[in-house]
């Protein structure tokens, strides 16, 4: 089955809203043995919506649409499908009653414009939406299927999980795709690709490399009549890649770098404290996203000014001699965090997020240090100039990498 995704909405087209719906659907389709060939975004314009629908109708077996199911004039998905198929919308009394009930329970009358949310066309049936007023559509004609769902992500995700996906599973041709992602650190993408070549020729297997913020990912994919059959093809490849890459593989699938680092601290029964400057507490935010962090992370200090660094224990002589943005000051921050908060390890981050230079240091320059229980200091520096937010995120990732390297070398 050849599939296509269409996101409808001018706000998505103009980048005012990030289209997470298409990503969610795209990640689900391979597991159903459905090949996704195209993704499109179209604004709230009837002519262009119909043109996009017609193109999808001509080349795809399954068309999944999100957005445009609201009650306003610029919500045109229903009208566009009706025009594509030459069918007339009509009001379904049961759907109308549900809409009236939705508004009555909230203490006010249904606006007249909402009546279009009770429409169907002859080739469509309604998909339940327990989280909103807009039912979805399952349209079936001429051997093709159109699935329409709301653009609101939590409504779409529930409808996909409860209504659309189960029906697609029932219609599956029996070919199921399963994937395994192995995540590596410390090796460039070209080298990873070269090292993985021994598995590239294995029958029925696809392997690809992808550079990500947390390292290079190796994605293994295989199809089978059942998930079990597909997994029997993946497992030997996974084992061979684990043999080839050894400890360079730090995680799989949905594992996060912060979760991995947290696990290293748990295994070592060690604690961590941090002192951040240019990242403004982002490291603390990310590490505390991991459940159970309180057993590892004692706390963090955001010392944005030089005065606050000194106030919380950074040696003023270090700052005077080397500058506030230097590997030496990052090390002093790590030691101060460790001493001040009573942790086994301390982390220090100082730098220039940008966009302007500071004290003669270029924007995007960041120095990171880890102080360990043996009073040794481990350093890492980075330079990138892609905007403040990108610099801060990259610095936090590099801090996780330095913590990982320090703990692994220490036998964590």
**Which domain CATH number covers 278?**
3.90.950.20
Q: Are 37 and 183 part of one and the same domain?
A: no
Residue 8 bridge partners (DSSP):
42
Compute the radius of gyration of the chain from its Cα atoms. 27
pLDDT for the residue numbered 199: 94
Q: Are 140 and 55 part of one and the same domain?
A: yes
CB 30 within 8 A of CB 168: no
Last residue of a domain, one of 224, 252, 280: 252
Q: What CA–CA distance (Å, rounded) separates 177 from 100?
A: 43
Q: What CA–CA distance (Å, rounded) separates 188 from 191?
A: 5
Q: Are 185 and 128 part of one and the same domain?
A: no
Q: Are 234 and 377 part of one and the same domain?
A: no
Closest CA to 121 of 83, 167, 66, 176: 83
Closest CA to 224 of 170, 175, 169: 175
CB 242 within 8 A of CB 199: no
**Tally of structural domains, the chain:** 3
pLDDT for the residue numbered 227: 83
pLDDT in tens, the chain (412 residues): 899 999 999 999 999 999 999 999 998 888 787 889 999 999 999 999 999 999 999 999 999 999 999 999 999 999 999 999 999 999 999 999 999 999 999 999 999 999 999 999 999 999 999 999 999 999 999 999 999 999 999 999 999 999 999 999 888 766 777 889 999 988 999 999 999 999 998 888 889 899 988 889 999 988 888 888 989 999 999 999 999 999 899 999 989 999 999 999 999 999 999 999 999 999 999 999 999 999 999 999 999 999 999 999 999 999 999 999 999 999 999 999 999 999 999 999 999 998 999 988 999 999 999 999 998 999 999 998 888 999 999 999 999 999 999 998 887 5
Beta strands in 81-155 (DSSP E): 90-91, 119-120, 124-127, 136-141, 144-149
CB 273 within 8 A of CB 341: yes
Q: Are 328 and 350 part of one and the same domain?
A: yes
Q: What CA–CA distance (Å, rounded) separates 314 from 318?
A: 8
Q: Is 396 helix (H, G, I), strand (E, B) or coil?
A: helix
pLDDT for the residue numbered 181: 95
Last residue of a domain, one of 146, 170, 194: 170
CATH code at position 181: 3.30.70.2860
pLDDT for the residue numbered 174: 63
Q: Are 213 and 302 part of one and the same domain?
A: no
Q: Are 262 and 386 part of one and the same domain?
A: yes
Q: Are 142 and 203 part of one and the same domain?
A: no
151 alpha carbon, distance to own chain's centre: 18
pLDDT for the residue numbered 35: 87
In the 8-state DSSP scheme, what is residue 95?
A: H
Q: Residue 161 belongs to what domain range?
A: 2-170
Q: Are 145 and 272 part of one and the same domain?
A: no
pLDDT for the residue numbered 186: 82
pLDDT for the residue numbered 136: 98
Q: Is 52 helix (H, G, I), strand (E, B) or coil?
A: helix
Q: Are 286 and 199 part of one and the same domain?
A: no
CB 405 within 8 A of CB 345: no
Q: Are 190 and 326 part of one and the same domain?
A: no
In the 8-state DSSP scheme, what is residue 367?
A: E
pLDDT for the residue numbered 288: 98
Q: Are 397 and 261 part of one and the same domain?
A: yes
pLDDT for the residue numbered 173: 64
Last residue of a domain, one of 135, 170, 205: 170
């Amino acid at each position: 089955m050849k599939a296509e995704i269409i996101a409808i909405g001018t706000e998505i087209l103009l980048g005012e809203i990030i289209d997470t719906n298409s990503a969610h659907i795209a990640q689900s389709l391979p597991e159903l043995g459905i090949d996704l060939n195209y993704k499109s975004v179209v604004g709230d314009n009837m002519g262009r919506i119909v043109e996009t629908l017609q193109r999808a109708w001509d080349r795809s077996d399954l068309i999944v649409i999100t957005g445009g199911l609201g009650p306003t004039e610029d919500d045109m998905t229903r009208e566009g499908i009706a025009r594509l198929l030459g069918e007339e919308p009509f009001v379904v009394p049961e759907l109308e009653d549900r809409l009236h009930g939705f508004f009555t329970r909230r203490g006010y009358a249904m606006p007249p414009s909402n009546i279009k949310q009770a429409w169907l066309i002859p080739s469509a049936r309604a998909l339940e939406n327990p989280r909103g007023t807009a039912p979805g559509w399952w349209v079936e004609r001429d051997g093709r299927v159109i699935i329409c769902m709301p653009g609101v992500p939590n409504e779409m995700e529930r409808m996909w999980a409860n209504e659309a996906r189960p029906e697609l599973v029932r219609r599956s041709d029996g070919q199921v795709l399963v994937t395994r992602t192995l995540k590596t650190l410390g090796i460039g993408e070209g080298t990873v690709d070269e090292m993985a070549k021994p598995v590239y020729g294995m029958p029925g297997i696809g392997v690809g490399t992808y550079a990500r913020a947390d390292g290079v990912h190796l994605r293994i994919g295989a199809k089978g009549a059942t998930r079990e059959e597909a997994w029997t093809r993946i497992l030997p490849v996974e084992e061979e890649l684990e043999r080839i890459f050894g400890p360079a593989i730090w995680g799989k699938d949905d594992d996060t770098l912060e979760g991995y680092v947290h696990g290293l601290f748990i295994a070592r029964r060690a604690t961590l404290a941090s002192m951040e400057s240019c990242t403004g507490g982002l490291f603390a935010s990310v590490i505390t996203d991991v459940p159970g962090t309180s057993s590892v992370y004692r706390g963090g200090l955001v010392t944005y000014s030089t005065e606050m660094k000194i106030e919380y224990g950074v040696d003023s002589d270090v700052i005077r001699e080397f500058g506030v943005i230097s590997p030496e000051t990052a090390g002093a921050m790590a030691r101060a965090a460790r001493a001040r908060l009573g942790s086994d390890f301390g982390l220090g981050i100082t730098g220039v997020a940008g966009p302007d230079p500071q004290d003669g240091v270029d924007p995007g320059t960041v120095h990171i240090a880890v102080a360990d229980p043996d009073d040794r200091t481990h350093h890492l520096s980075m330079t990138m100039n892609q905007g403040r937010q990108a610099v801060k995120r990259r610095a936090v990732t590099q801090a996780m990498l330095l913590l990982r390297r320090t703990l692994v070398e220490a036998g964590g």
